[in-house]
Structure 1
């Protein structure tokens, strides 16, 4: 195996978890593979090689300056509060040196830096949910998907907020060294191997707005607490004491989604938790989550997560 160089860019105001999360994953690869020479040569660099202070006040000392850093296999750009623009020295360095890396990776708002450097034009990407609209508005040549926790488009990989950088790093280790290596690292870090990239950044309750009217809030609570119940529009409208048509219109206006989509997302999330946390069979879970049949649950999982329930359980349930 060939050792791959990973270079993590540091700057004033960088988000510390955006740096340390992927670093822990890549550093763990040598142990997981069982051959130090086959892991990753992980280095950090700032523009002048000097220490930087993170957004939380933590002081990080880089290994070198960017001018002296080797051309990496994987270039990781974390997010943070630094004020960068197209003429910023860091942006210019990324524009000049980013294309030389075999793999470009951003964590959280690091995607903003890559976009300003012109490295995301024509790509499908994601970033922290709070910055998706801004990224799309400022860089119309970039296709921004606000939902997934990470997105792969060719040699460019972008992740959402903070901890999703760990998910993306585990995915890259799995790509480079196989599933067992990534699983070993995930066990050591006590995280799942691994949340699928198209898993949503939010739960259904967070993704949808909370309704302002009490009857609709009660319906949202009822759906979350009774995923296996009758959650048809007619049944939910009766609970809200509204006509089905009025209920559907009001629910969408106040939550930003339709009742059906909200129910679908709640049921998938509940089924995911049962697959991850219990030994219950898929048929039992499908009934308890309101699907009725395993096939109906399978279709919902493939549509939402891109993987059937059985594969999800094998890949994402922690192994004792």
Structure 2
């Protein structure tokens, strides 16, 4: 049985997304879906959308095969609930697969289950999470991360990617792909893929380094090394790197790569330019280097994105 843990002011899609993925996969596997919504206090639990889910009281941990913990605005209060923390610890102690969606990682961290482990959460929560839980090996750029029996995922829709990865583990890749198609997802994203929201943020930068990022976007064919950017900002490379990470939540090198990826994606989808030419113009130089960057960011090579855009 799959348990989905919610609390007052949880994010609705954090719970309903994985539920739908597991339900559809079970039917493809010719099984009866076995999913239960649970909470510290049974009864109707209100989400941030105002929509309620009917939850049961925590039951025996041994009855579960997987526990999914939702995120949402009420996660801080939930992470202080002794009953919730004790239940989550008990589930993990039994070796049962435990996962969080979005800010649900705060509950896992508060329960002590992420100490020394790799994890991720929504990119907007990165600084708050790192400050509260410095012993966690946070990977803020990942869609989802698995470390042993503990799984964590990024914001909202990434919970579906995490659920599909679990479906692939439980039922095989074919059923996972069928489930993704039924959910009208173009493809199942890999865990190492970048959180796309961060790419979007860099398209319209603001704050201290906005002029620098705008300039970099207009000069993608230049090397744009850390030294180049630091010199443009009038700072030492060391000071610049620290200040840039504090301001944007990412390194200068990754920011430049994201700018290159986004501009390259636009040219790949909207034009018939040779892939080699796009790689040259956007500063990747080597088409293979651009291909690897596309797979990290979108889960697909440039040619696949071009074919999909033309088909659309």
Cα offset, 1:48, TM superposition: 4.2
Match of 1:98 among 92, 102, 118: 92
Question: What corresponds to 1:61 in structure 2?
Answer: 54
SS in 2 for 1:84: helix
Work out whether residues 95 and 149 of structure 2, in 8 Å CA contact, stay in contact via their aligned partners in 1. no
Q: Does structure 1 retain, via aligned residues, the 8 Å contact 2:62–2:94? A: no
State the secondary structure of the residue aligned to 2:37.
strand
1:18-57 pair list within 5 angstroms: 18-31=14-27, 33=28, 35-37=29-31, 40-57=33-50
Mapped partners of 1:92, 1:150: distance in 2: 24
Equivalent residue number for residue 198 of structure 2: 203
The aligned residue for residue 106 of structure 2 is 112
| In 1, Cα distance between equivalents of 2:12 and 2:60 | 23
Count residues with an aligned counterpart.
300
2:234 pairs, out of 239, 243, 246, with 246
SS in 1 for 2:63: coil
Structure 2 unaligned blocks of 5 or more: none
| Structure 1 pair 291–132 and aligned structure 2 pair: CA distance change class (3 A) | closer
Q: 2:165 aligns with which of 171, 177, 192?
A: 171
Q: Which of 144, 149, 152 is matched with 2:138 structurally?
A: 144
1:57 Cα deviation (Å)? 1.3
Residue by residue over 1:267-318, the C-alpha shift from the partner in whole angstroms, topping out at 9 and shown as x without a partner, is 223445677888987546534544333233245457x5597837x949x969
TM-score by length of 2: 0.77
Other structure's SS at 2:24 match: helix
Q: What TM-score, normalized to structure 1?
A: 0.75
CA displacement, residues 60-108 of structure 1 (integer Å, 9 cap, x when unaligned): 112x321267621111011121513455221122222332253111001
Residues 179 and 84 of structure 1: CA distance in aligned 2, closer, same or farther (over 3 Å): same
Is the partner of 1:203 in helix, strand or coil?
helix
Match of 1:11? 7
Contact 2:212/2:233 (8 A) holds in 1:
no
Residue of 246, 258, 262 corresponding to 1:269: 262
Q: 1:8 to 1:284 in 2, by over 3 A?
A: same
Classify 1:25/1:274 alpha carbon distance in 2 versus 1 (closer, same or farther; 3 Å).
Answer: farther
Does structure 2 conserve the Cα–Cα contact (< 8 Å) formed by 1:86 and 1:92?
no
The equivalent residue for 1:192 is: 186
What are the ranges of 5 or more consecutive residues in structure 1 without an aligned counterpart? none
- Kept in 1: contact 2:7–2:78 (CA 8 A): no
- Residue 245 and residue 217 in structure 1: after superposition, are their counterparts in 2 closer, same or farther (change >3 A)? closer
Pair 1:51–1:277, CA change in 2 (3 A): farther
Partner SS state of residue 28, structure 1: helix
Q: How many Å separate the matches in 2 of 1:278 and 1:154?
A: 44
Superposed CA RMSD in Å reads: 3.9
Q: Secondary structure at the match of 1:36?
A: coil
Relative to structure 1, the CA distance from residue 177 to residue 196 in structure 2 (aligned partners, 3 Å threshold; closer, same or farther) is same
Of residues 71, 83, 90 in structure 1, which corresponds to 2:63? 71
Deviations 1:151-176 (A, max 9, x none): 11111110111111111112221222
The answer to whether the Cα contact below 8 Å between 2:101 and 2:154 also exists between their aligned partners in 1 is yes
SS at match of 1:76: strand
